[in-house]
Amino acid sequence: VFYSFPESTTLCNVLTKFIAQTARETIEKKGKFTLAISGGSLPKNLSLLIERKDIEWDRWHVFYVDERVVPFDHAESNHALCQTELWSKVPIPAANIHTINEELLTAEPVDLEELADEYQSQLIEHFVSKDAARFPVFDLILLGMGPDGHTASLFPGSAQLDVDETCWVAYIEESPKPPPKRITLTLPVINHAARVAFVATGEGKQESLAITLDQPEKRYPGSRVRPARPGVVYWFVDDAASALVKY
Ligand code: 6PG
């Protein structure tokens, strides 16, 4: 499902309604809504969520699509960003915000493998034991896309794109985009989600969006996001970002 909007304000409006409605319908069916959220420019584009009165925040569970390995009070932390932009402004219980492990994060030196494994354990605990599923199935995963074609912390050509189905959280030691150390959900997890929504705005994304959508042979990470049916991929982009996409 592909939506391109002339103005990013309209995009934010429609995206917010889509998230609120998805959450409502999921909570009606399952009693809870589990979201994975990216960092970058995305959290700011969701600010209209704060004003909505129809969101049952205590039923929401939030994980991070990717996290930069910096302390939680660091300006580059995705959790800090989401906390400032969103979570501090709504009544979501702190226990429902599933961050990477703070103790492991602040250890010197940080053991990235252990940090990723611990986050994978949190996924197991949330999804596998409670829902008797073999895989984490997010109700919604919100992804951004960088001008270099990365999504989550999966960069074009990176080894983390080819992990097997048992690796749900990968770590990166030398990310092309700073900060260098990161952890990220992997394609197997993203491709098990019920819904994946990409959000990309601005001229800077033109080329990477066109390659992702029109040149799958280049194997950009976004073109490898194909949730197994009945999963659906949504694109919420603005006309500036989609200018080079062929329909
Ligand atoms: C991160 C983000 C990342 C982001 C893209 C797009 O930690 O870097 O989670 O995956 O979604 O880089 O970022 P922008 O929206 O800022 O271009």
Question: For 158, which DSSP code?
Answer: -
pLDDT at 197: 98
Q: Is the CB of 200 within 6 Å of ligand 1?
A: no
pLDDT at 230: 86
Pairing type for strands 60-64 and 66-68 reads unpaired
Query: What domains, with CATH codes, occur in the chain?
Result: 2-242 (3.40.50.1360)
The pLDDT tens digits for 57-108 are 999 999 999 999 999 999 999 999 999 999 999 999 999 999 999 999 999 9
Whose CA is closest to atom 2 on ligand 1?
39
Q: Are 234 and 195 in contact (CB under 8 A)?
A: yes
Q: Is the CB of 152 within 6 Å of ligand 1?
A: yes
Q: Kindly report the average pLDDT of the chain as a whole number.
A: 95
Sheet of 169-172, strand order: 66-68, 182-185, 169-172
Q: Is the CB of 149 within 6 Å of ligand 1?
A: no
pLDDT category, 247, cuts 50, 70, 90? Answer: low
pLDDT at 131: 59
ipTM of the prediction: 0.94
Rounded to the nearest angstrom, the distance between the alpha carbon of 148 and the centre of ligand 1 is 11
Q: Is the CB of 144 within 6 Å of ligand 1?
A: yes
Tokens 């992804």 correspond to 143
Rounded to the nearest angstrom, the distance between the alpha carbon of 28 and the centre of ligand 1 is 31
The pLDDT tens digits for 25-51 are 999 999 999 999 999 999 999 999 999
The pLDDT tens digits for 119-158 are 999 999 999 866 566 889 999 999 999 999 999 999 999 9
pLDDT at 132: 63
Q: Is the CB of 126 within 6 Å of ligand 1?
A: no
Tokens 């990216």 correspond to 38
Q: Is the CB of 222 within 6 Å of ligand 1?
A: no
